[in-house]
Amino acid sequence: MASTDNSPELMPANGLQPTPGKPIGVKKNAIYKDAKMMQSPQPIYGHDMPHQIQRVVSNGKQCSGKEEKQRDIIEDMKLAISHSSGEPEPILASVINHYVQTLNQRNMRYPTNQDLNYDTLAPLLHFHLNNAGDPFLGSSFSLNSTTFEVCVLDWFANLWEIEKSEYWGYVTTGGTEGNLHGILVGREQFPDGILYTSQDSHYSIVKIARMYRMKCVKVNTSVSGEIDCVDLKALLLAHKTKPAIINLNIGTTMKGGIDDLDLVTQTLEECGFTPDRFYLHCDGALFGMMLPFVKGAPNITFRKPIGSEAIYGHKFLGCPIPCGIVITRLEYINALSRDVEIIASRDATITGSRSGHAPIFLWYALKRRGLRGLQNEVHKCIMNARYLQNRLCDVGIGAMLNKFSNTVAFETPVDDGFIHRWNLACIGNIAHVVVMQHVTIEILDSLGNFYKSD
């Protein structure tokens, strides 16, 4: 679905330039002191891992403190499952009520929408709903929600401009499964293809390459986190005899960088790759849901030569069950699918049993908001992100906000207590806040005031 003319034209306060002011209360070598510090975080993979992460993999010592803390929580909340005859309902209710209270804390680390109410759907929890198999064919298990699932898929097919008769997809367990499926489709098209992905890609992409035993080539990124097409061109020319499977980031995790689909396609053509020798998978993550509602934003559409796109359902839409959506071209699915007699359906998904509740929650979220409601929420998130960038500038903190993004990147605070209090995600000298629907101006002011007091 193309952007409407009356969509808000949202722009970052200072584009991709760091806000002025000296770093206050941040770690040394802050990210804007030297442009090199804004290069991508180190890949969380193999020998490229930072030293402290290597220790986690090699001997687990780095995790021991967290494991002990987890055990303490289990003991304090009396969560251990004993071998007795069972616990009375009031005791279990007390445990759950206490846990609910612990959830009412600040959360700006992960892009999940906490502004939600699904009380209407509570009766569904009395049923086991299982959407095993192809959602378009149903299965022999009658307690399913595939009709709701197909409605959700049709909505996204329309959003990303592909005809109902030309697409296939399903509701996944999350973005990683969507990436697993999309890249698998690409690999089935090109078994000897090379997977190209940027240094700022989600860690699942490298994990997927390892699982599928694919050669994975990492491409440099710009300061803003976008794929460097000059480097991509050099790498493509160096491996010109092999088909290219390219993962495109529609909003990177730490900086919200959006890879330029048109420029990547042009780069492939300049390197002599015809459409029958490349496959493009779009990791839509959070932004794949938001960009269609922003005027002037890149148009990620199946009218362009993409093979698949995957997004999260529990991020912007706020589904309380981790889930996602993957859409691909129907013509590619025959290479993956197999008829399975026991479920009387076709198997073309990564997992077998799939949540039947998640599609209904997604359907409810989309129906309740409507296009105008979704557009208003996108506008609110991006405008509030602009506000935060300016607020950090006011207290002397260098901050960056990518165009069309609600992810504000800034220098990592020195105080670990501050990081824990605000549940901030940090990699090296970079921290970020993802401004979602539940993050209010008052919360952002409070964050800025804490920085100022430091």
Long-range contacts of 287-290 (CB under 8 A, 24+ apart): 287/250, 287/251, 287/256, 287/258, 287/404, 287/405, 288/250, 288/251, 289/315, 289/316, 289/317, 290/251, 290/316, 290/378, 290/381, 290/382, 290/404, 290/406
Does the pLDDT of residue 231 top 50, yes or no?
Answer: yes
Residue with tokens 């979220």, as numbered in its chain: 365
Residue whose C-alpha is closest to residue 200's, from 44, 320, 32: 44
Residue whose C-alpha is closest to residue 287's, from 407, 190, 181: 407
User: What pLDDT was estimated at residue 12?
Assistant: 34
Residue 142 belongs to a domain = yes
**Cα→Cα distances 152→130, 147, 190, 302, Å:** 16, 9, 29, 17
User: What pLDDT was estimated at residue 110?
Assistant: 64
Query: Tens of pLDDT along 129-160?
Result: 999 999 999 888 899 999 999 999 999 999 99
Q: Mean of the pLDDT values across residues 43-69?
A: 47
Residue 362 belongs to a domain = yes
Return the minimum-mean-pLDDT range out of 27-41, 105-119, 295-309.
27-41
Does the pLDDT of residue 175 top 50, yes or no?
Answer: yes
Cα atoms in the Cβ-side hemisphere of radius 13 Å centred on 5: 0
DSSP 8-class letter at 134:
-
Q: Please tell me the distance from the alpha carbon of residue 81 to that of residue 264, in angstroms, as a whole number.
A: 52
Question: Hey, how many other C-beta atoms are within 10 angstroms of the C-beta on 104?
Answer: 8
Does the pLDDT of residue 20 top 50, yes or no?
Answer: no
Q: Please tell me the distance from the alpha carbon of residue 125 to that of residue 6, in angstroms, as a whole number.
A: 40
Question: Hey, how many other C-beta atoms are within 10 angstroms of the C-beta on 367?
Answer: 12
Residue 38 belongs to a domain = no
Classify burial at 214, counting beta carbons within 10 Å of its beta carbon; exposed 0-12, middle 13-18, buried 19 or more.
buried
Residue 261 belongs to a domain = yes
Query: Tens of pLDDT along 70-86?
Result: 888 888 888 888 767 78
Residue 193 belongs to a domain = yes
Q: Residue 105: pLDDT band by 50, 70, 90 thresholds? A: low
Backbone angles phi, psi at 409, to 5 degrees: -100, 140
CATH number of the domain where residue 348 is located: 3.40.640.10
> 214 vs 415, which has greater pLDDT?
214
Does the pLDDT of residue 386 top 80, yes or no?
Answer: yes
User: Do residues 333 and 339 lie in contact, with contact meaning Cβ atoms separated by under 8 Å?
Assistant: no
Question: Hey, how many other C-beta atoms are within 10 angstroms of the C-beta on 31?
Answer: 26
Residue 376 belongs to a domain = no
Residue 119's SS3 state is helix
Question: Hey, how many other C-beta atoms are within 10 angstroms of the C-beta on 227?
Answer: 29
Pairing, β 244-249 against β 278-285:
parallel
Residue 272 belongs to a domain = yes
Residue 401's SS3 state is strand
Task: Write out the two tokens for 122.
Answer: 């509570």
Query: Tens of pLDDT along 403-443?
Result: 899 999 998 888 888 888 888 889 889 999 999 999 999 98
| Percent residues over pLDDT 90 in the chain | 62
Please tell me which residue in 94, 345, 405, 446 is annotated as part of the active site. Answer: 405
Mind giving me the DSSP string for 40-82?
Answer: PPPPSSGGGS-HHHHHHHHH-HHHHHHHHHHHHHHHHTT----
DSSP 8-class letter at 14:
T
Query: Tens of pLDDT along 316-375?
Result: 999 999 999 999 999 999 888 888 888 888 899 999 999 999 999 999 999 999 999 999
Return the minimum-mean-pLDDT range out of 1-5, 20-24, 200-204.
20-24
Does the pLDDT of residue 42 top 70, yes or no?
Answer: no
> 450 vs 221, which has greater pLDDT?
221
Verify whether residue 405 is a known catalytic residue: yes
Classify burial at 401, counting beta carbons within 10 Å of its beta carbon; exposed 0-12, middle 13-18, buried 19 or more.
buried
Number of domains in the chain: 1
**Cα→Cα distances 90→83, 87, 93, 100, Å:** 19, 8, 5, 15
User: What pLDDT was estimated at residue 442?
Assistant: 92
User: What pLDDT was estimated at residue 3?
Assistant: 44
Q: Mean of the pLDDT values across residues 96-118?
A: 75
Q: Residue 35: pLDDT band by 50, 70, 90 thresholds? A: very low
Pairing, β 244-249 against β 194-198:
parallel
Domain span including residue 260:
123-366
User: What pLDDT was estimated at residue 420?
Assistant: 82
Classify burial at 344, counting beta carbons within 10 Å of its beta carbon; exposed 0-12, middle 13-18, buried 19 or more.
middle
User: What pLDDT was estimated at residue 43?
Assistant: 31
Q: Residue 277: pLDDT band by 50, 70, 90 thresholds? A: very high
Return the minimum-mean-pLDDT range out of 27-31, 404-408, 444-448.
27-31
User: What pLDDT was estimated at residue 64?
Assistant: 58
Q: Residue 16: pLDDT band by 50, 70, 90 thresholds? A: very low
Residue 13 belongs to a domain = no
Mind giving me the DSSP string for 156-184?
Answer: HHHHTT--GGGEEEEEESSHHHHHHHHHH
Residue with tokens 């790759």, as numbered in its chain: 273
User: Do residues 245 and 195 lie in contact, with contact meaning Cβ atoms separated by under 8 Å?
Assistant: yes
